[in-house]
A and B are shown apart, each in its own frame.
Chain A
């Protein structure tokens, strides 16, 4: 396919008087890793929320693989192959690691009451397969948890929960992964390990694209192909990490906000 995988065209999102996204345009190519950076409150999470259908945009358009998905509901966005993690982790805490990750991959599975309750042969096979996938992912991201898959997620420390969230996002074999501060709370080494694991899973599939929001600039520098800098909902710079880091407007935005 030619053309960008994802395109934001003049997207505006207002919350009452706050303009969280202000005429935001951008594109993302097939298999690209894009860093989305900017000071607190600059609209990074909002752009994910608009893209995944949690909020409808106030104006503008969003395209994915050439199709307009502006204002599509979250399910349709998921079905198009876009998955995400949440800045403030959103797992089902009382449920097991298995259950939480399997939630990421149920939509293509048997749905009818009959096949779920009465004739359950297909269901058993799918369960076995999905559980194996879940376990393999956990083995990659958090090896020591692979033997504790029946543990409730609520008993895990925050950084493990973030890894489980990434597994949940990856299990369906998505086209585009949105990561919202995946390494918050992790040490430098843990953060780099996490990025290695993500790249590792990506290398196994065919060209997963990623947009990553991250405050740890070392990570952004290392893994992104390109960066976009937001400030007060506006795109103020775009280019490789080295280019945007050298941009004086970017330096001002960070200094001004912090």
Chain B
């Protein structure tokens, strides 16, 4: 974790450089999503790398971090507004919106994993299984007209949590790698179960009904005069809302006693127990809460892509989720957002890489772990009082 408690910025508007970064990131995302030729994408990537390098060398990154610590709420709102703006600007493009929504849902999933892994130190190599459990729940319950679809999202979370209950035994009873290995086995088991289960469509998978909200079917494209609008705009906006909600909860969790307990348990179980912290309770809470979030994001993902199969929720996909958390930085939500964008967009934008995407990510993860072991955007010290300048 990086210490950012430097002398307070003397600027009259201490958020301005961070605000500039947010707007620049919005423009950059737009450019990247619109870029079609390989050379365009490659130049944008080079630009990002160079800009990041310059920002680090000139100390601009530190300044942005300081701004962020001082005006967090305002900057978070600006980031959300820029995201909504981006979605609206791109509302004519199926593909761009699908990409944005996918990044957002992977980001949400990574927050769930981050509560387990980043905060509490529980490695979960079955993330895709819980994500998939949410999606399959949406497929099955979506056929029952009486259930309000928002409730289906929640049900996705609850089912994901419920199937994870047996894993609590190794997670609570053992420390270290044993539990991690059990989650791998669980992920494989889950996929095999889907493949042989005829009710759940076997290897061919299932159709998923679309989301409906207050009588509005997300399969319909909203019409605004004669503008061409993609129906994915519905999903992108809902995914943005979900991401914002989970992000806020994640932050509040971090800045609560529970978040402090999670850190204490990750860093030294024995010492934590000697100060009255229930290691068991903390681990159970982290694991279940994380899986609920994975399940909810998976349910919305299933509705959005409207067709799911066991092959979408494999061990490799679990690794992808873990690599988002590692690349972004353990416990770092913004790092996770950037990493989710990299992991989702890179192979889509560079078609020639499609086939090698797992190779690419392995190399990327290794490079980051070698040169920046705390991730792209390392987690900061816990700031219990964002926006409060002085400590009385």
Contacts and interface: CB of A to CB of B under 8 A. Distances in A.
Measured as residues with beta carbon below 8 angstroms from the partner, the interface class of chain B is 20 to 34
Contacts of A152: 1, 3, 381
A155 B277 contact: no
Contacts, number: 108
Interface in B250-281: 252-253, 256-258, 260-261, 263-264, 267-268, 270-278
Interface in A35-67: 52-54
Contacts of B273: 53, 73-75, 78
A74 B270 contact: yes
A97 to B, nearest CB: 10
Contact of B271 (A75, A86, A96): A86
A233 B270 CA distance: 23
Interface string B277-289: 1100000010000
A257 interface: no
A90 B271 contact: yes
A110 B257 contact: yes
B278 A75 contact: yes
B252 A150 contact: no
Contacts of A155: 3
A195 interface: no
B356 interface: no
A230 B253 CA distance: 46
Interface residues of A, number: 48
Contacts of A73: 273
B384 interface: yes
Given A109-B257, A116-B258, A78 B1 contact: no
Given A104-B275, A116-B256, A120-B252, A54 B270 contact: yes
B257 A111 contact: yes
Given A92-B267, A95-B382, A103-B260, A78 B252 contact: no
Contact of A116 (B3, B253, B381): B253
A128 B385 CA distance: 10
Contacts of B270: 54, 74, 90
B5 interface: yes
Interface centre among A79, A83, A110, A123 (most CB of B within 10 A): A123
Interface centre among B258, B263, B278, B285 (most CB of A within 10 A): B258
A87 interface: no
Contacts of B258: 111, 113, 116-117
A213 to B, nearest CB: 16
B283 to A, nearest CB: 14
A19 interface: no
B264 A103 contact: yes
A106 B256 contact: no
A111 B278 CA distance: 11
Contacts of B384: 98, 127, 131
Nearest to B3: A152
Given A96-B382, A152-B1, A117 B252 contact: yes
A78 B260 CA distance: 18
Given A73-B273, A75-B277, A152-B381, A99 B260 contact: yes
B56 interface: no
A133 to B, nearest CB: 13
A94 to B, nearest CB: 5
Interface in A189-230: none
Nearest to B270: A54
B355 interface: no
Nearest to B250: A117
Contact of B252 (A104, A116, A172): A116
A103 B382 contact: no
A74 to B, nearest CB: 4
Nearest to A165: B271
A135 B384 CA distance: 15
Interface of B: 1, 3, 5, 249, 252-253, 256-258, 260-261, 263-264, 267-268, 270-278, 285, 381-382, 384-385, 391-392
Closest 6 CB pairs of A and B: A107-B276, A116-B256, A74-B273, A92-B267, A150-B5, A78-B276
26 contacts: A53-B274, A73-B273, A78-B273, A78-B274, A78-B275, A79-B276, A86-B271, A94-B1, A99-B263, A99-B381, A99-B382, A103-B272, A103-B275, A106-B276, A106-B277, A113-B285, A116-B252, A116-B256, A117-B256, A123-B257, A128-B392, A131-B384, A150-B5, A150-B381, A151-B5, A172-B275
Interface of A: 52-54, 73-75, 77-79, 83-84, 86, 90-96, 98-99, 102-107, 109-111, 113, 116-117, 120, 123, 126-128, 131, 135, 148-152, 155, 168, 172
Given A106-B261, A117-B256, 17 more contacts: A54-B274, A74-B270, A78-B274, A78-B275, A83-B274, A92-B271, A96-B381, A102-B260, A103-B277, A105-B275, A106-B260, A106-B276, A107-B275, A116-B253, A120-B252, A150-B381, A152-B381
